[in-house]
Amino acid sequence: MADSPPVLELRNISKFFGAVQALWNVKLELRAGEVHALVGENGAGKSTLVKTLAGAHQPDSGMLLLDGQEVVLSGPADAQAAGIAVIYQEPTLFPDLSVAENIFMGRQPLRGLRRIDAKAVRAKAAELFDRLGVPLDPDRPARGLSIADQQLVEIAKALAFDARILIMDEPTAALSGVEVERLFAVVRSLRESGTAMLFISHRFDEVFALCQRITVMRDGRWVSTDSADALTVDEMVRRMVGREVSALYPKIDAAVGEPRLEVRGLTRHGVFADVGFTVRAGEIVALAGLVGAGRSEVARAVFGVDRYDAGEVLVDGRRLPRGDTVAAIAAGLALVPEDRRQQGLVMEMSVEHNATLTRRWSLSRLGLLFGETEREAAQFWSARLQVKAARLTDPVSALSGGNQQKVVLAKWLSTDPRVLMVDEPTRGIDVGTKAEVHRLLSELAGQGVAVLMISSELPEVLGMADRVLVMHEGRLTADIPRKQADEETVMYAATGQGGTR
Percent share of the chain, pLDDT over 70: 91
Residue 366: the pLDDT is 52
- Read off the pLDDT of residues 24-37 as tens digits, 9 standing for 90 and up: 999 999 999 999 99
Name the residue among 140, 109, 146 with its Cα closest to residue 124: 109
Q: Within 10 Å of residue 306's Cβ, how many Cβ atoms?
A: 16
- The boundaries of every CATH 3.40.50.300 domain in the chain are 8-93+145-242, 243-332+418-501
Query: Could you tell me if 451 and 467 are in contact, meaning their C-beta atoms sit under 8 angstroms apart?
Result: no
Residue 1: the pLDDT is 53
> Counting beta carbons within 10 angstroms of the beta carbon of residue 367, is it exposed (0 to 12), middle (13 to 18) or buried (19 or more)?
exposed
- Read off the pLDDT of residues 354-413 as tens digits, 9 standing for 90 and up: 887 776 555 555 555 555 666 777 788 788 777 877 788 888 888 877 788 888 888 888
Domain 8-93+145-242 annotated CATH 3.40.50.300: yes
Measured CA to CA, the distance from residue 259 to residue 246 in angstroms comes to: 30
Residue 174: the pLDDT is 64
Q: For residue 215, which phi and psi values (nearest 5 degrees)?
A: -105, 130
First to last CA, the chain: 43
Query: Could you tell me if 34 and 191 are in contact, meaning their C-beta atoms sit under 8 angstroms apart?
Result: yes
- Read off the pLDDT of residues 12-25 as tens digits, 9 standing for 90 and up: 999 988 777 889 99
Query: Could you tell me if 240 and 443 are in contact, meaning their C-beta atoms sit under 8 angstroms apart?
Result: no
- Name all contacts of 123-129 with Cβ < 8 Å and 24+ positions apart: 124/100, 124/160, 125/99, 125/100, 125/156, 126/100, 128/103, 128/156, 128/159, 128/160, 129/156
Query: Could you tell me if 497 and 298 are in contact, meaning their C-beta atoms sit under 8 angstroms apart?
Result: no
pLDDT tier, 341 (very low <50, low <70, confident <90, very high otherwise): confident
Measured CA to CA, the distance from residue 450 to residue 440 in angstroms comes to: 13
Alpha helical stretches, state H, 177-244: 177-192, 204-210, 233-241
- Read off the pLDDT of residues 240-271 as tens digits, 9 standing for 90 and up: 877 665 667 888 888 899 999 999 999 999 99
Please, what sign has the CA dihedral across residues 36, 221, 62, 85?
positive
Please, what sign has the CA dihedral across residues 251, 254, 256, 258?
negative
Query: Average pLDDT over the chain, rounded to whole?
Result: 86
Domain 243-332+418-501 annotated CATH 3.40.50.300: yes
pLDDT tier, 227 (very low <50, low <70, confident <90, very high otherwise): very high
Is the pLDDT reported for residue 490 higher than 70?
A: yes
Query: What mean pLDDT do residues 399-428 have?
Result: 85
- Read off the pLDDT of residues 48-97 as tens digits, 9 standing for 90 and up: 999 999 999 999 999 999 999 999 999 998 998 899 988 877 778 888 88
Query: Could you tell me if 382 and 388 are in contact, meaning their C-beta atoms sit under 8 angstroms apart?
Result: no
Name the residue among 237, 187, 164, 235 with its Cα closest to residue 8: 164
